[in-house]
Amino acid sequence: MRKILFVTERRADYSRFKPIIDKIIQDPDLDYYLIVTGIHLLEKHGKTIDFIEKDGIKISSVVPMFDEDAPDTGAEMVRATGRLIEKITHELERLKPDIVLSGFDIGANFAVAVAAAHMNIPVGHVQGGEVSGSIDESIRHAMSKFAHFHFPANDDAAKRLIRMGEDSQHIFTVGCPSLDALLNAPEIPKEELEKLTGLDFSQKFIIIIQHTVTTEVEKVPEHIEATLKAIKDVGVPALLLYPNNDAGTSAIIKAIENTNIKRMRTLSIEEYGNILRHAGVLVGNSSSGIHETVSFHVPTVNIGDRQAGRLRPENVIDVENNKEDIKKAIHTAFYDKEFLEKVSTCTNPYGDGRSSEKIVRILKEIPLEKELIKKNFID
C-alpha cells in the first residue's frame, strides 16, 4: 500500500488536496498522511483546522508554523518557512511516506518539497508551470525543480515545465483539482446561505477576495482602499472574505474591519462553492478568479499584478488598482450583454472537475525507482 503525504497551510491548498484525499480513501491500494499547519491553526484567520476535522479527514500531525501575533512581514514568512522545514523533516522521518504530494505556490508545500527531495522521497507537484506576480511565482518554480513528477493544470503550464528542463515523461496534464471539490459540492439551500452570509440571494451580489502583492507591500493600503471605494460607489451588496497572511495582510484586515461591507473570516469548500454559484461577480486578485469562476459562468474582475501572466479564461476582466477602472469593470460584469453571453458559454482552461481521479491513478502507477529521483536538466 502506497502512502501519500500532504501538508496543508491554508484553505487554498486544502481545497485542492481534499478531492485527491477523498479518492485515496476509496482506493484499497493507497493511504495518506495529512499534516496541518499554517493559518489553519490561527483564530484570526478562522481556525480552519475545524473544517478539516468536520470533513472527517484524518489528521496525522499538527505542526505550528506561525505565531498568532507574529508580524505580517516578508522576514516572518521566511522564518516561518525555516521553522517548518526543520519540523517537517522530523515528521517525514517518523511517517516514512512513499510519495510527498506538494502543490501550487504555498510556503508549507515548498518546505515539504525541499525536505523530501533531500531525503530521497519522490515528490509530485500539483499546478506547477503557471506564472503569476509576487513571490508566489518564485516559490512555484523552485518547487518544480525540487519535484520529480508534475501535475500541471493545462498544456500551457506543461510546456513551460518542459522549457524549464523538466522531463516530459514525468509531466501529466490533469487540470486544477479545486474544481473537483467545488463542482461536486452538495447543494446548500439559499435560505441557509442567506443566514450564513447576511445577503439576499434574490439580488445580484459581489464576492471580494483580495490578497497582498508581496513585491508592492508599501502600496497594499491604497490597493485595498481603491477596491473598497469602488464597491461602495457601485452600491451592490457584497461579501468580503479575509485574505491569507502574506506580508502586508494587516493593512487589508484593518481596511476590511473599517467598512460596513458584510465579511467572513473563512468558508468551507462546500459553502464557498454554493455561494460562488449565485454570485454576480468575483472582485479582487485571488487565483479563484482565474481558476474557478469560469466553471460557474461567473465573471471575474481581476485587480493588479498578483495573477500577472496566468492563462486567462474569457470571463476575466483585468484592471489596475484604480477605483474608476474597477467600477467600470464591475458594470461590464453585471450589465454588458455581449460580455455576459461570452461568459455563459466559455470553457475553463484549468480542467473539467475530474483532476483528482487522474492524479490518484498516476500516484498508484508511477514507478518509484531510483531513476525517478535522479533529476537532470533536460535540454
Distance CA 128, CA 370 (A): 22
What totals of helices (H) and strands (E) does the chain contain, helices first? 16, 12
Closest CA to 133 of 287, 237, 280, 3: 287
Give the model confidence (pLDDT) of 280-293 as tens digits. 999 999 999 999 99
How does pLDDT run across 346-376, given as a tens digit for each residue? 999 999 999 999 999 999 999 999 999 999 8
CA distance 255 to 276: 23
**pLDDT at 332 (0 to 100):** 98
Mean pLDDT of 246-250: 94
Q: What is the pLDDT of residues 181-206, one digit of tens each?
A: 999 999 999 999 999 999 999 999 99
**Structure confidence at residue 379 (pLDDT):** 84
Write out pLDDT tens, residues 79-133.
Answer: 999 999 999 999 999 999 999 999 999 999 999 999 999 999 999 999 999 998 7
Portion of the chain with pLDDT greater than 70, in percent:
100
Torsion of CA 249, 250, 251, 257, to 10 degrees: 110
> Across residues 10-30, what is the average pLDDT?
97
How large is the average pLDDT for residues 294-310?
A: 96
Question: Cα–Cα distance between 367 and 2 in angstroms, integer?
Answer: 11
Cβ 144 vs Cβ 128: under 8 Å: yes
Return the amino acid letter for 230: A
- Closest to 45 measured CA to CA, from 18, 87, 12, 81: 12
Write down all domains in the chain, each with its CATH number in brackets.
2-182+353-373 (3.40.50.2000), 188-345 (3.40.50.2000)
pLDDT of residue 68: 86
CA 99 from chain centre, in angstroms, equals: 21
State residue 61 phi and psi, 5-degree precision.
-160, 145
Give the pLDDT band (50/70/90) at residue 270: very high
Is 164 exposed, middle or buried, given 0-12, 13-18 or 19+ CB atoms closer than 10 A? middle
Q: pLDDT value at position 134?
A: 79
pLDDT digits (tens, 9 = 90+) for 148-193: 999 999 999 999 999 999 999 999 999 999 999 999 999 999 999 9
Coil, helix or strand at residue 206 = strand
Q: H or E stretch including 143?
A: helix 134-146
pLDDT, residue 70, reads 86
Tell me phi and psi for residue 100, to 5 degrees: -105, 125
Are 366 and 149 in contact by the 8 Å Cβ rule? The answer is yes
Instruction: Please determine, for residue 326, whether its predicted confidence score (pLDDT) is greater than 90.
Output: yes
